[in-house]
Each structure stands twice: as C-alpha cells, then as structure tokens.
Copies of this chain bind each other. A is one copy, B any other.
C-alpha cells in the first residue's frame, strides 16, 4: 500500500460517513433472496481480512456455502439449537419462538466463520490464548458487517448451533471452532433499531451506564 494512503488525513465529511455507516448497521434476520455479485463478496471479504489480529495470527477462516444440501444441513442444526434455547428460556419460551432469529433459508450468501486451530502464537496472547484469537476473528466480522452495510446489504450473525456439529459437517480439522453462520444479502429494509429492541425483547443501555473513570462502572 502506498504511503500516502496509509497516512491520509480523513475529513469531517468522511468521519460523518463512517459514523452514519456504524449507526445504520443492523444484525439482520430478514432477507429477500437475490444475489451478491462476486465483486461485492470479494470486497466484503477483503475488508474482513484487513482486520487487526493478535500477533498477526489472522486466525479467521471463511467457508462460503454453495451447496443447497449443506445449507439445508445447517438449517437443521440451527433449528435443533433454537428448540434447546427455547426450552432453556422457560417463561419466555413462547415469546422467543415468535421472534425470527436467523435468515439461513432466505439470505443470498451463507458464510461460515471458523476460528482456526491454535498455531502456537505467543505474542500478545500468553495469558489469554483463546480469547485473543477469538477477539481477532470478531474484529474481522465487524469489518464485514460494516462493509455489507455500505454495500447496501444486510448481514446477520447466527450463533444458534453446536460448534462441534458444524465443524464435523464442514470437515474442520481438530481444534477449529465455527463461531458464526453469517447470513448476507439483499434485504427489504433495515430495522429502525436493533430487532430485539423493536420487538420489545430487551432494551439497550445508555453510554453512561457502561463508562466510568479509574474504576469499574457502578
């Protein structure tokens, strides 16, 4: 990358663009089929791959699901976990079952994100080895989320699954951990606010509730 691009100074307008993208990003579960062109998909994956990683591990692996049979198998795994979650929720079980919590059938692209097996990196993760690798993969996914939004596409992170079952289905090596089924594609509309707020499942916190000086927020 040329030096001038790395060191460019961003303008007030560019700053406001980023903040608009960040505010407009949503965890989407409602998709309308359609397609994501190879050029757009590559741009989104390149954004992911430009993420920071502890010790430059780049521990993210992306598996694009192209076979309908594999997508069907993943739907079965997600449905099974949704049932278990509903049972675990006890009193809120019926309310949960009314929510749409994933868009696996309707999204244009389904991408499984896997945390690679530990490569032995010590730099920056001696005390928190798995946490720091997972944190790196999550930063990559957030880059993808913002990239999808600026491409006017929705993305949703589905975590309703048993990682070992997904690992077996996709022939992952020992130690690899699927962490996300990413639904990606055109949507009819983005939610005005987080879907769980919109559906009165839960309300978000204010910034002051999670921020403090010199000690843990009270």
> Cβ of B127 and Cβ of A135 under 8 Å apart?
no
Chain B residue numbers with a CB within 8 Å of A66 are 213-214
Chain B residue numbers with a CB within 8 Å of A170 are 214-216
> Cβ of B26 and Cβ of A160 under 8 Å apart?
no
Chain B residue numbers with a CB within 8 Å of A45 are 207, 211
| Nearest B residue to A197, CB-CB | B56
| Nearest B residue to A99, CB-CB | B123
> For chain A residues 55-81, which have a beta carbon within 8 Å of chain B?
55-56, 58, 60-67, 70, 81
The complex places the Cα of A213 from the Cα of B132 at a distance, in Å, of: 26
Q: Name, among A127, A136, A196, A216, the residue most crowded by chain B CB atoms within 10 Å (CB to CB).
A: A216
Copies in the complex: 2
- Smallest CB separation, A46 vs chain B (Å): 6
Chain B residue numbers with a CB within 8 Å of A32 are none
> Cβ of B46 and Cβ of A84 under 8 Å apart?
no
| Nearest B residue to A81, CB-CB | B127
> Cβ of A214 and Cβ of B85 under 8 Å apart?
no
State which of B84, B126, B142, B149 has its C-beta within 8 Å of the C-beta of A51. B142
State which of B138, B145, B171 has its C-beta within 8 Å of the C-beta of A138. B138
**1/0 per residue A149-178: CB within 8 Å of B?**
111100001011111000000111100110
- Smallest CB separation, A44 vs chain B (Å): 10
